[in-house]
Amino acid sequence: MALKITVIGTGYLGATHAAAMAELGFEVMGLDVVPEKIDKLRRGEVPMYEPGLEELLRRHVAGIEGSTGRLRFTMDWAELGEFGDVHFVCVNTPQRHGEYACDMSYVDSAIASLAPHLKGPALVVGKSTVPVGSADRLAAYLAEHAPAGADAELAWNPEFLREGFAVQDTLHPDRIVVGVRSERSEKLLREVYATPVEEGSPFVVTDFPTAELVKTSANSFLATKISFINAMAELCEATGGDVAKLAEAIGYDDRIGRKFLRAGIGFGGGCLPKDIRAFMARAGELGADQALTFLREIDSINMRQRGRMVELTRQELGGGPFLGKRVAVLGATFKPDSDDVRDSPALNVAGQIHLQGGQVTVYDPKGMDNARSLFPTLGYADSALEAVRGAHVVLHLTEWREFRELDPAELGEAAAERVVLDGRNALDAEAWRRAGWRFRAMGRPGA
């Protein structure tokens, strides 16, 4: 009989995973402890902006006309335990308040709520990003607290999806990594991922600590690449070099590669910043902190870029205080094609300028509601053109396609001064200059 799958936690990761599992043909039940999320999902609505996810969900959610009916949602742990053969844990692991370490309370409470309902053989699969050593601890907890005892097994299967590409990354992963302790667990996971494996996704089988480390080391490597190129941008600025050309030229070496070498205001979001910090904290607990001290520098290079953007803006405004200056900010989300503003470099820059007395007006294609609730005191406009109207300087801080398609001549008519700073190295400098703008980008020669 076909496997039945449950997904615990319906954020970015869980909602996408649940819909993808239904797309692969499984009967799926999703659980969340937030009633509003469940109500929305039952209506086929996604609680965040993620391209393609709503369509995928609507194709499978039971009760929606024309759907396969393979995907249902519940808040009832007993129903979930009864239903599933394989339970994916997809809850959030944020940074703890006032500390670098990861907050494991959602994972711990999901496992504690599920355990008493595992009465027969079951596989619990962790997907959340956790400190190395967690799987070991959680496996012991399950064996002790599940009525099925040792038949309630654990596996760790980290997730590598990117926001904005979540559906594609989940249905066609570039690798599947499973940390397992038994042949039975491996066999079950091979069954779950049979379709992508047939299509060519590599399937890497390993132990618990390696599976956990693969995730945090992958994100640390990506963060390192970004901070590396931003450090080179600082050197380019000091020497008159051009970081975009530099990135292109080193990127032709395929040992280096061209991806993730876009200099600018740096990385943000719900993953990279908190993951490198949690990794450092965990290394400290394990007595291996020296191995990761370089990540402290990666973090500080990254955070420094936000301050550099503020200073560059100040310079362009004549070097004095921001008081009385109108600043248009294009972009609020931490990256394009997402409405996520968690630890967004764009909003951080906007907030710093606002706190120093600048009159900031923000526009973002999808992130306005989230930005407003995080930073209610900033000004907001309904379009890029409205944000730019009357501005003394325009900051391009999130590289949405919409911003690359703007007409610099039309914006020039609306702005008080034609000065634009590209914090993402994504605009066409020549097109802006032709329209009379003074154009500056981080790590590139000036106007």
Instruction: Give the active site residues.
Output: 271
Residue 163 or 316: the one with the smaller Cβ distance to ligand UGA is: 163
Q: Which of 255, 256, 276, 281 is nearest to 266 (CA)?
A: 276
Q: Which residues contact 226 (CB under 8 A, 6 or more apart)?
A: 260, 261, 262, 266, 267, 272, 302
How far apart CA 71 and CA 33 sit, in angstroms, is: 17
List contacts with ligand UGA (CB under 6 A): 129, 159-163, 219, 222, 226, 260-262, 264, 266-269, 271-272, 275, 334-335
Considering the complex, what minimum distance in angstroms separates the CB of residue 75 from ligand UGA? 25
Q: Which residues contact 173 (CB under 8 A, 6 or more apart)?
A: 160, 161, 196, 201
Residue 192 or 222: the one with the smaller Cβ distance to ligand UGA is: 222
Q: 208, 178 in Cβ contact below 8 A? A: no
Angle among Cα 166, 170, 172 to the nearest 5 degrees reads 115
Considering the complex, what minimum distance in angstroms separates the CB of residue 209 from ligand UGA? 18
Considering the complex, what minimum distance in angstroms separates the CB of residue 262 from ligand UGA? 3
The long-range contacts involving 399-403, CB below 8 angstroms and separated by at least 24 positions, are: 399/331, 399/335, 399/336, 399/424, 399/426, 400/330, 400/331, 400/336, 400/337, 400/364, 400/365, 401/336, 402/365, 403/330, 403/331, 403/427
Rg (CA), the chain: 24
